[in-house]
Amino acid sequence: MGKKITPKKQARGQRRGGGQGLALLIALVMVGATFMLMRGLSGGDGKKSASSAAPSVVTAEENSVKNTGEYRAVWFSYLDLQDRLQGKTEMEFTNSINSAFDNCVNMGLNTVIVQVRPFSDALYRSQLFPSSQYITGKQGDHMAFDPLAVMVQSAHDRGLTIEAWVNPYRISSTEGTAPCTENPGYKWFADEQTKNDWVVQVGEGLYYNPAIPEVQQLIVDGVAEIVKNYQVDGIHFDDYFYPSGIDDSFDAAAYSRYTAAGGTLARGDFRRQNVDTLVKQVYQTVHSLRSDCTFGISPQGNVNNCYDSMYSDVKTWCAQKGYIDYIAPQIYWGYEHPLPSARFDVKISEWNAYMKEPSVKLYIGLAAYRVGDSESGFTQNGDDLARMVKDSRTKTSYSGFILFRYDNLAQSGEVVGKEMLNLQELLQDK
């Protein structure tokens, strides 16, 4: 990571009618609809207004979670938003995101998960974090308009649920994402009292230390700022917690203070406790501010990696109330993966078994970006995503899916086209 993205009653009735002429007509209509969908998903010329987009054949209300009983989401990462934002006016961005969200409705989706803090920054107006470079071209520069406000309005105008996707601990991953001087991560790393303690360098990246109470409070305050100021329907975290591959030097000072104060947990348990503390605080904050707002997490699909590398105790979150409203494991492997334990059908059964707390919903993260990739266990049949949704629906705790990511829905190639058409048809029939 990651935090996502048409029931046509008339078409369903037509299929019951039979007849070769009618079948041919339906085939032609579906080909045309798929062409328009793919053209729209790819962004078109970026100048269309919402009113000139291809007309929807169903309403967003028909697609809603309430009416379908299924959460159908797609992730909009900062990579999906960057080209729509940089160098664009508010009107240009509004038209572009309107078109994208129209496509989500036409596809049969009902939820969008938009990344609003990828690198200790903000794709919204914030008092805590600087503006994102993916809006202005340079982190901290003045924003001419508020992208999140535009997206919330656009989503709700179409009956879509919208969630704000936050990466809690990552400040930068490469030199190209280095923080500006107004970034709290930069300030703490520049301060000799907090450098390599509150903020730690790992390779070319900078990361907040999850053990630091001030870090936890900053993240909680950032979530509260979003929930208070925007009518988002949820807060979404992805799989990034502790950076992968760290050694004991990452939190040496923090762990030393912990043991000196009488702490007895082993380092791994200490790290998991820090993440648990943040997750609980975010959950409590979200629900204390808005009872209609949810908090969910999309961890890696490999539970051992979550536990031992990211230090996220996902099994506990699925088994106890007070951590999350939903879990959305990224099950990014196909049915023919060379490692049997990684195959999709095995993984969804595994995750279904972890769901012990009835209030926590299970959504499945699906790898639209990997369709047709044999190394990941996907086939060339063009029906893997639809099959994954159908199989997931058989699991007792399943409540929906999330596609990664929006721009990947319009990749070129015959297999992708078939995948999108088959998934769309499936969603029409539900």
Spatial CA neighbour of 385 closest among 403, 360, 407: 403
Whole-number Å distance between alpha carbons of 393 and 388: 9
Q: What is the mean pLDDT of residues 330-338?
A: 98
The neighbouring-strand residues paired with 326 are: 296, 361
**Average pLDDT of the residues of the chain:** 89
Of all residues in the chain, what percent carry a pLDDT higher than 70? Answer: 86
H or E element that contains 66: helix 65-68
Q: What is the mean pLDDT of residues 403-407?
A: 97
Q: According to the model, what pLDDT value does residue 40 have?
A: 53
Pairing assessment for the beta strands 294-297 and 326-327 based on DSSP bridges: parallel
Q: According to the model, what pLDDT value does residue 430 have?
A: 63
The predicted-structure confidence for 7-27, as pLDDT tens digits, reads as follows 333 332 333 333 334 333 334
144 or 176: whose pLDDT is higher?
144
Q: According to the model, what pLDDT value does residue 37 have?
A: 52
Q: According to the model, what pLDDT value does residue 14 have?
A: 32
pTM score: 0.88
Q: According to the model, what pLDDT value does residue 240 have?
A: 94
Q: According to the model, what pLDDT value does residue 18 have?
A: 36
Label residue 32 by pLDDT band (50, 70, 90). very low
pLDDT at 2 over 90: no
Label residue 410 by pLDDT band (50, 70, 90). confident
Number of residues that this document lists for the chain:
430
Torsion of CA 39, 410, 93, 68, to 10 degrees: 100
If you search the block for the tokens 């499936």, which residue do you land on?
426
Q: According to the model, what pLDDT value does residue 64 have?
A: 80
Spatial CA neighbour of 170 closest among 133, 200, 131: 200
Whole-number Å distance between alpha carbons of 60 and 57: 10
Q: What is the mean pLDDT of residues 279-297?
A: 98
Window from 32-36, 91-95, 420-424 with minimum mean pLDDT: 32-36
Sign of CA dihedral 89, 94, 99, 104: positive
The predicted-structure confidence for 167-211, as pLDDT tens digits, reads as follows 999 999 998 899 999 999 999 999 999 999 999 999 999 999 999
Q: According to the model, what pLDDT value does residue 74 have?
A: 98
Whole-number Å distance between alpha carbons of 174 and 6: 40
Q: What is the mean pLDDT of residues 117-127?
A: 98
Whole-number Å distance between alpha carbons of 270 and 276: 10
CB 109, CB 70: distance < 8 Å: no
Q: According to the model, what pLDDT value does residue 9 have?
A: 32
Label residue 41 by pLDDT band (50, 70, 90). low
Largest CA distance in the chain: 80
Q: According to the model, what pLDDT value does residue 68 have?
A: 81
Structure tokens that stand for 322 in this block: 């007070």
Question: Which positions ≥6 away from 32 have C-beta within 8 Å?
Answer: none
The predicted-structure confidence for 61-103, as pLDDT tens digits, reads as follows 777 877 889 999 999 999 999 999 999 999 999 999 999 999 9
Domains and their CATH numbers in the chain: 9-429 (3.20.20.80)
Pairing assessment for the beta strands 205-208 and 199-202 based on DSSP bridges: antiparallel
End-to-end CA distance of the chain: 29
Q: According to the model, what pLDDT value does residue 313 have?
A: 98
CB 365, CB 298: distance < 8 Å: yes
Q: According to the model, what pLDDT value does residue 377 have?
A: 98
The predicted-structure confidence for 343-402, as pLDDT tens digits, reads as follows 999 999 999 999 999 999 999 999 999 999 999 999 999 999 999 999 999 999 999 999
Q: According to the model, what pLDDT value does residue 127 have?
A: 98
Q: Exposure of 70 by Cβ count < 10 A (0-12 exposed, 13-18 middle, 19+ buried)?
A: buried
Structure tokens that stand for 75 in this block: 């992730």
Q: According to the model, what pLDDT value does residue 19 have?
A: 39
Q: According to the model, what pLDDT value does residue 66 have?
A: 73
Window from 31-35, 100-104, 303-307 with minimum mean pLDDT: 31-35
Q: According to the model, what pLDDT value does residue 175 have?
A: 86
Q: According to the model, what pLDDT value does residue 58 have?
A: 59
